[in-house]
Structure 1
Amino acid sequence: MNNGIFHIPRPVNEPVFNYAPGSPERAALKQEIERLRKDRMDIPLIIGGKEVRTEKTAPIRRPDAHNEVLGVYHIAGEEEARMAIKAALDAKAEWAALPWEERAAVFLRAAELISVKYRALMDAATMLCQSKTAHQAEIDAVCEVIDFLRFNPWYMEQIYNQQPDNAKGEWNRSAYRPLEGFVYAVTPFNFTSIAANLPTAPAMMGNVVVWKPASNAVYSNYMLMKLYMEAGLPPGVINFLPGSGGAISNVVLSSPDFAGFHFTGSTEVFRSLWKQISSNLEQYYVYPRIVGETGGKDFIFIDPSAELANTVTAVVRGAFEYQGQKCSAASRLYIPASRSKEFIDALVAEISAIPMGEITDFRNFVGAVIDEAAFNTICGYIERARTSGEAKVIAGGACDKSRGWFIEPTLILTENPRSESMVNEIFGPVLTAYVYDDHDMEAAYRLVDSTSPYGLTGAIMATDRQRINRALLALQNAAGNLYINDKPTGAVVGRQPFGGARASGTNDKAGSYLNLLRWVSAVAIKENFAPPSSWRYPFMLGDD
């Protein structure tokens, strides 16, 4: 029944719990952490709403205590990928025909379930599986997930409300149909919220989805999948398919019904899969929509007019929260020569005081990096900088994998503004600083703009409005999200739509209506209330 014009409740951002000592949320979270640690999970695939176990499994380990196994997950292969495609296509017609407000209600209910019933679960699962502190888990796996699930239905209504003008005797309408086929969502380990948004954004617009979560985030992502099912998501609309990226992608991208790709991950993987899609274009029914957010080499530019304390805080939080494993994390820092000593001294003092350890100890600011492969890569960058002859490690730099994949927050000072650690994405707790000549600000801006192939986030620390304006103009293409006197991380749904260009992706702005537009195909409908009865035009009626 749809005998009314319905409106999504206007969303507000979910409040962030602070988990202070003595608070009820802190006690509930600690209790949930201990429950999960004792409950070794056996995580299946979910295809067509049914659990599928392949009996080929992999362990789920805590990064900050890698001898502790949280459970196992079953690994999908080519056969399961084909099953997931079929299940999605079988569910497509009925899901697409469901009134939009009924689709929206599923995800609005999922948001409420997290807010009220499963807050501690989502926080605890993300902390244990992805080595996030209580605060980092809360802003990600709870607040941002809820925001996506509440704001995106509101944006959906706004899109559907966009209608064309009419002339006398006609009614023009725009319908926003889902894509023909299915959407393939590939999600990363570092944000549970991205794992929530990439499959659900296309789904709420009427699409069906094959979802491949990152192997290092299956634990928390499985919780999301179960939540959607409890919220009333019909079987087959989203199919949960952990496993080999190569095996699954080969099947998915060779299907004639492949219609869209929603991706967050490395630039190299994204480019490889885009090439694979391009080579298969002739066999697709439609040109696939490709939306990707990839790497970053994000900067903080300190103007000579910057305030010391605010800047140091922005640098420490922007570079080292969640061990720098954010595509938006600051990893290159530009310090004016005229104030270099005070900034460097203050940064070294603060970085050296950062507590690191297991995330179950709430006193720690950082935990471990995600796995041994990441550990080895990041430590390699630190060691090469240490022995390069053009750089020195002036804070942190120690690596210890005896109990977890721990790397100290590290500050490198380089004499070469285009050194390896200033150019390459490291994706770890490593920040490289370069002291620039602030007698030539235009040259400094050009250096920031041209050093990295990426264009995701950046921050400008300054108090002089003329200088802020000059920096914004000079760096407008260097980042898709620019911050003034703030860290370059922490975009909030509805307030800072997120995405970058250049090698950082397609800049389709998650957390806004722009992303949802990519998952519909518009059709224009004209109805003529007074159709002509003759094909002849008035100018043909006579010769005067």
Structure 2
Amino acid sequence: MGKGFYEVPVAVNEPVKDYAPGSPERKAVLEAYKELYNANIDVPMYINGQEVRTGDTATMSPPHEHQHSLGTYHRATQANVQSAIDGALEARKAWSQMPWEQRAGIFLRAAELIAGPYRAKINAATMLAQSKTIYQAEIDSACELIDFLRFNVQFMTEIYAEQPESTSGAWNRLEYRPLEGFIYAITPFNFTAIAGNLPASAALMGNVVLWKPSDSQIFSAKVIIDVFREAGVPDGVINVVYGDPVMITNTVLESPDFSGLHFTGSTHVFKSLWKQIGENIFKYKTYPRIVGETGGKDFIVAHKSANSKQVSTAISRGAFEFQGQKCSAASRCYIPQSLWPAVKEEVIADVKSFKIGSPEDMSNFITAVIHEGSFDKLASYIDAAKADADAEIIVGGNYDKSKGYFIEPTVIVTSNPKYTTMCTELFGPVVTIFVYEDDAWEETLHLVDETGEYALTGAVFSEDRYALDQAVKILENAAGNFYINDKPTGAVVGQQPFGGARGSGTNDKAGSKLNLYRWISPRMVKETFVSPTDYRYPFLG
């Protein structure tokens, strides 16, 4: 068989379709939406290439119409989880030895399947499962997932090309091995792209994976599974289980072959997992890699020189797109006194112009939050703000879960920069604003840095370059993704690698080579061409 140094297709970001009225993509996604809405599907687990049904089922419903059933999914037993682990380890024998170009071909094919025949279906499934507007679904489940798959293949080849220097007498080479064991991928509800990328990025590097999607995202995760299977991911390489997260996690973390955690979710859960891994450390054959992207309390801070309309638009988009259910969503803002009247008027006008309802109606900018637990938590914070003396709701503040989990986009203004909603991650369409004196710019920057446990994203608006420079320096550790004159959401694969530190995660930057390095264990090979035959060195005389 011929060999070569293969060049993969140059990765480019997938163009975002606009879904304008009358466009073919709009027609296709609405047809897919209606078909999936009425399909009432049964979702099995996927273990060692087999569809596994336990009969212990739970119902899937759209957050914007929670009485409607989209179908059911099957929950794992402990035996199912152990079977998935055993199957993954067996699959590793062949998968870890497969030539890299064959692995690349599988995931490049997956990208093209999503870009083409699966595009309408995966977008419609995301609209239904996570109550995303078509635009939010398109940039997530289609474009970002395609980008992850394409760019990760390119990043893999760049990593493999990184080799040490050699001499005429010895050839030095690095082998980039997969980790010894299996990876546990835990994915969130809010991004279909993250759900696909966490298992796929580890598998691309030759690892085998046990993947547990969020219960609230299984409907769209099913489409990802279908894509991977059609693309040719071999049996056992990515096993998928649903159900009790404590039981599944306990079973996984008891295995001596556990070698890595790829996680996106809450800070509290991630810290608990880290602790559990630490307590089990003497059980493992290798030190597990722990990669996590967790919570955020992301900021917008405006200087007195900023353009008010740019700031207000950043708040309206950054805080309320996808109902604020992005770990990068703007949820605390610091606005100077002189700019506040204009920003206030503009934000109120924006919020009052939002249409709220089902994503099937593409004139709606706001849809439902993910489930009743989220709805109830958000409603409690809104009610508290209505009663607290140091808070005022200037627009929004209503909610209704009779049909769907609808929270009206809400803007709170507080006189207390450490007010609870300035510090606590709410994960919903609620933003809190603190108005500061114009001459307290530096003081306010320190306040931004010292408020809360997170450091994921943040944005600074200013037309004064000295003020911007000051912000960049003081806020050095306040955000892993830092935006100048832009909202703090919308990182693009290959352009803005994503991740934060402090309580926001390990900052291993999904969408870059940095993340893929975590799923390899290099082996250094030195080959000496003519070996010494005498132990004596010249210094011995």
| TM interval, short-chain normalised | over 0.9
The count of aligned residue pairs is 541
AA of the residue aligned to 2:138: E
Quote the residue 2:43 is aligned against.
Answer: 43
Structure 1 residues 404-435: Cα deviation after superposition (integer angstroms, max 9, x where no partner): 00001100000100010000000000000000
Quote the residue 2:415 is aligned against.
Answer: 415
Q: Return closer, same or farther for 1:254/1:353 CA change in 2, 3 Å cut-off.
A: same
Q: Tell me if the contact between 2:58 and 2:74 (Cα under 8 Å) persists in the aligned partners.
A: yes
AA of the residue aligned to 2:98: L
1:343-354, aligned counterparts within 5 Å?
Answer: 343-354=343-354
Q: Tell me if the contact between 1:190 and 1:326 (Cα under 8 Å) persists in the aligned partners.
A: yes
AA of the residue aligned to 1:513: K
CA shift, 1:341, in A, is 1.4
Q: In 2, distance between residues paired with 1:431 and 1:88? A: 44
Quote the residue 1:94 is aligned against.
Answer: 94
% identical aligned pairs? 54
AA of the residue aligned to 2:475: L
Q: In 1, distance between residues paired with 2:249 and 2:366? A: 34
Quote the residue 1:20 is aligned against.
Answer: 20
The DSSP-based 3-state class of the residue aligned with 1:439 is: helix
CA shift, 1:65, in A, is 0.7
Q: In 1, distance between residues paired with 2:28 and 2:440? A: 55
CA shift, 1:76, in A, is 1.1
Structure 1 residues 264-292: Cα deviation after superposition (integer angstroms, max 9, x where no partner): 00000001111100000001000000000
The DSSP-based 3-state class of the residue aligned with 2:378 is: helix
The DSSP-based 3-state class of the residue aligned with 2:107 is: helix
The DSSP-based 3-state class of the residue aligned with 1:165 is: coil
AA of the residue aligned to 2:288: P
CA shift, 1:168, in A, is 2.6
Structure 1 residues 140-161: Cα deviation after superposition (integer angstroms, max 9, x where no partner): 0000000001000100000000
Quote the residue 1:117 is aligned against.
Answer: 117
Q: Tell me if the contact between 2:300 and 2:333 (Cα under 8 Å) persists in the aligned partners.
A: yes
AA of the residue aligned to 2:302: I
Quote the residue 2:540 is aligned against.
Answer: 540
Quote the residue 2:4 is aligned against.
Answer: 4
AA of the residue aligned to 2:389: G
AA of the residue aligned to 1:449: D
Quote the residue 1:467 is aligned against.
Answer: 467
The DSSP-based 3-state class of the residue aligned with 2:61 is: strand
Q: In 2, distance between residues paired with 1:131 and 1:340? A: 32
Instruction: Tell me whether 45-54 or 381-390 shows the greater mean CA deviation.
Output: 381-390
Quote the residue 1:156 is aligned against.
Answer: 156
Quote the residue 1:79 is aligned against.
Answer: 79
Q: Tell me if the contact between 2:132 and 2:367 (Cα under 8 Å) persists in the aligned partners.
A: yes
| Consecutive unaligned residues in structure 1, runs of 5 or more | none
AA of the residue aligned to 2:207: N
Structure 1 residues 100-138: Cα deviation after superposition (integer angstroms, max 9, x where no partner): 010011000000001111100000000001000000000
Q: In 2, distance between residues paired with 1:54 and 1:485? A: 52
Quote the residue 2:70 is aligned against.
Answer: 70
Quote the residue 1:525 is aligned against.
Answer: 525
CA shift, 1:350, in A, is 1.2
Quote the residue 1:278 is aligned against.
Answer: 278
Q: Tell me if the contact between 2:258 and 2:288 (Cα under 8 Å) persists in the aligned partners.
A: yes
Quote the residue 1:126 is aligned against.
Answer: 126
CA shift, 1:239, in A, is 0.3
CA shift, 1:77, in A, is 2.6
Q: Tell me if the contact between 2:309 and 2:343 (Cα under 8 Å) persists in the aligned partners.
A: no
Structure 1 residues 448-495: Cα deviation after superposition (integer angstroms, max 9, x where no partner): 000111000001111111111111111111000011111100100000
AA of the residue aligned to 2:277: I
Quote the residue 2:510 is aligned against.
Answer: 510
* 1:497 has 2:476 as partner: no
Q: Tell me if the contact between 2:63 and 2:371 (Cα under 8 Å) persists in the aligned partners.
A: yes
Q: In 1, distance between residues paired with 2:16 and 2:340? A: 36
The DSSP-based 3-state class of the residue aligned with 1:211 is: strand
Quote the residue 1:190 is aligned against.
Answer: 190
CA shift, 1:2, in A, is 5.0
Q: In 2, distance between residues paired with 1:365 and 1:423? A: 26
1:401-440, aligned counterparts within 5 Å?
Answer: 401-440=401-440
Quote the residue 1:228 is aligned against.
Answer: 228
Quote the residue 2:392 is aligned against.
Answer: 392
Q: In 2, distance between residues paired with 1:168 and 1:230? A: 47
Q: Tell me if the contact between 2:497 and 2:512 (Cα under 8 Å) persists in the aligned partners.
A: yes
Q: In 2, distance between residues paired with 1:230 and 1:187? A: 21
Q: Tell me if the contact between 1:131 and 1:359 (Cα under 8 Å) persists in the aligned partners.
A: yes
1:349-364, aligned counterparts within 5 Å?
Answer: 349-364=349-364
Q: In 2, distance between residues paired with 1:144 and 1:514? A: 17
AA of the residue aligned to 1:167: T
Q: Tell me if the contact between 1:183 and 1:262 (Cα under 8 Å) persists in the aligned partners.
A: yes
Q: Tell me if the contact between 2:255 and 2:284 (Cα under 8 Å) persists in the aligned partners.
A: yes
Q: In 1, distance between residues paired with 2:228 and 2:346? A: 47
CA shift, 1:189, in A, is 0.1
The alignment yields a C-alpha RMSD, in angstroms, of 0.7
Q: Return closer, same or farther for 1:329/1:2 CA change in 2, 3 Å cut-off.
A: farther
Quote the residue 1:365 is aligned against.
Answer: 365
Quote the residue 1:293 is aligned against.
Answer: 293
The DSSP-based 3-state class of the residue aligned with 2:471 is: helix
CA shift, 1:312, in A, is 1.3
The DSSP-based 3-state class of the residue aligned with 1:226 is: helix
Quote the residue 2:477 is aligned against.
Answer: 477
The DSSP-based 3-state class of the residue aligned with 1:79 is: helix
Q: In 1, distance between residues paired with 2:424 and 2:79? A: 37
Instruction: Tell me whether 134-143 or 433-442 shows the greater mean CA deviation.
Output: 433-442
| Consecutive unaligned residues in structure 2, runs of 5 or more | none
Structure 1 residues 188-235: Cα deviation after superposition (integer angstroms, max 9, x where no partner): 000000001100011000000000000000010111011101001000
Q: In 1, distance between residues paired with 2:150 and 2:519? A: 17
Q: In 1, distance between residues paired with 2:226 and 2:116? A: 16
Instruction: Tell me whether 379-388 or 325-334 shows the greater mean CA deviation.
Output: 379-388
Q: In 1, distance between residues paired with 2:481 and 2:339? A: 26
The DSSP-based 3-state class of the residue aligned with 1:185 is: strand
Structure 1 residues 317-356: Cα deviation after superposition (integer angstroms, max 9, x where no partner): 0000000000000000100012211111221121121111
AA of the residue aligned to 2:514: L
CA shift, 1:442, in A, is 1.2
Q: In 2, distance between residues paired with 1:419 and 1:118? A: 45
Q: Tell me if the contact between 2:308 and 2:339 (Cα under 8 Å) persists in the aligned partners.
A: no
Quote the residue 2:172 is aligned against.
Answer: 172
**TM score, norm. by length of structure 2:** 0.99
Quote the residue 1:30 is aligned against.
Answer: 30
Q: Tell me if the contact between 2:63 and 2:370 (Cα under 8 Å) persists in the aligned partners.
A: yes
Q: Tell me if the contact between 1:438 and 1:444 (Cα under 8 Å) persists in the aligned partners.
A: no
AA of the residue aligned to 1:314: A
Q: In 1, distance between residues paired with 2:2 and 2:358? A: 52
AA of the residue aligned to 1:227: V
AA of the residue aligned to 1:212: K
Q: Tell me if the contact between 1:88 and 1:209 (Cα under 8 Å) persists in the aligned partners.
A: yes
Structure 1 residues 7-38: Cα deviation after superposition (integer angstroms, max 9, x where no partner): 11111000000000010100011111111111
CA shift, 1:440, in A, is 2.2
The DSSP-based 3-state class of the residue aligned with 2:438 is: coil
Quote the residue 1:143 is aligned against.
Answer: 143
The DSSP-based 3-state class of the residue aligned with 2:359 is: coil
